[in-house]
Amino acid sequence: MKLSVPIAEVKRMAVHDGPGVRTTVFVKGCPLHCLWCHNPECISARPEIMFRAARCTGCRRCEAVCPNRAHRIAEEGHHIFRRELCTACGACAGVCFSGALTLCGKPMTPETLLGELLEDVDFYRVSGGGVTISGGEPLLYPAFCLALFRLLGREKIHRALDTSAAVPWEAFERVLPECDLLLIDFKHPDPERHRALTGMDNRQIRENLRRLQAFDVPIEIRIPFVPGYNDSPRELEAAAEFLDSLPRVTRVRVLAYHSFARSKYAAVGRRDTMPQVESPSRERVEAVEQIFRANCA
């Protein structure tokens, strides 16, 4: 049976998604809706057109090929894209040479991806890197993750899984035997505040983290640090206290909020939910990191 999953992006030369130089595979589809989501194009599991109006040259190729008349270039050159008519066939993206239109979410199988991932195998070997599956939420597709990790394992390539852990335990159980490193987000220690910020409480995440302690897979925790949302001393200390009870956690990283994703919300036609806050200073990030260093052995 062929397993295909909607892929938003295959990002080469990634250096923040696990050790060494890596290729990160971003799947589409996520059970959470974090206010500060940096990958809004990965929220929906459905393929969708990304439209970046500033790149449009007004060449009208998209207008000519769209079977649903979703594109119209007005007299004054203004590009009107009626997303509600789009069926994501990809024809317009195929003729848009300026990069204004791209199809996000092309279904790919582990076998197809493997060829692309092997192109950088020398970088993985020299740097101690490998491949990370991220998203979106990869564990919405455990059979896909397992199959891709098996293929990579045969090539002796390091395999990391970047997950919110907001998934049924059975998904972890399937993938763990082929996984070398887990990267797990911990967004907020309080269940109800977690629900307000992400759309789901954190009970399942905490329970999965506890159960993972029985397995020999190292865990790197990633704290999205969003000033004013999860950074009071009480919130940080509660998070540090919980994480300190998890012996498989080998590292806690603080990922500072940034607003670079703002243009992506417009490109996929989503309401921008990014908090209107400044990125924290390097000193502030270091102070938060120090809280976790001091409290997590």
Rounded-to-integer distance, Cα 12 and Cα 190, Å: 35
Q: For residue 176, state whether it binds ligand SF4 (rule: CB under 6 A).
A: no
154 close to 114: Cβ distance less than 8 angstroms: no
116-127 exposure pattern, b = at least 16 Cβ within 10 A, e = fewer: ebbebbebbeee
Distance of CA 71 to the CA centre of its chain: 29
Beta carbon nearer to ligand SF4, 55 or 253: 55
Strands 158-163 and 181-185: what pairing? Answer: parallel
Beta carbon nearer to ligand SF4, 68 or 232: 68
- Judged by CB under 6 A, the residue of 35, 59, 200, 261 near ligand SF4 is 59
Q: For residue 290, state whether it binds ligand SF4 (rule: CB under 6 A).
A: no
- Judged by CB under 6 A, the residue of 3, 10, 95, 200 near ligand SF4 is 95
- Judged by CB under 6 A, the residue of 8, 50, 92, 205 near ligand SF4 is 92
Q: For residue 30, state whether it binds ligand SF4 (rule: CB under 6 A).
A: no
Rounded-to-integer distance, Cα 6 and Cα 106, Å: 5
Beta carbon nearer to ligand SF4, 212 or 267: 267
Tokens standing for residue 155 = 């090539």
| Residue in 32, 26, 73, 28 with CA at minimum distance from that of residue 48 | 28
- For the bound state, the minimum distance from the C-beta of residue 264 to ligand SF4, rounded and expressed in Å, comes to 17
Rounded-to-integer distance, Cα 256 and Cα 281, Å: 9
Q: For residue 61, state whether it binds ligand SF4 (rule: CB under 6 A).
A: yes
Q: For residue 143, state whether it binds ligand SF4 (rule: CB under 6 A).
A: no
Beta carbon nearer to ligand SF4, 89 or 200: 89
Tokens standing for residue 254 = 């603080």
Q: For residue 158, state whether it binds ligand SF4 (rule: CB under 6 A).
A: no
Interacting residues with ligand SF4 (CB under 6 A): 49, 56-62, 65-66, 68, 70-71, 73, 79, 86-92, 95-96, 98, 100-101
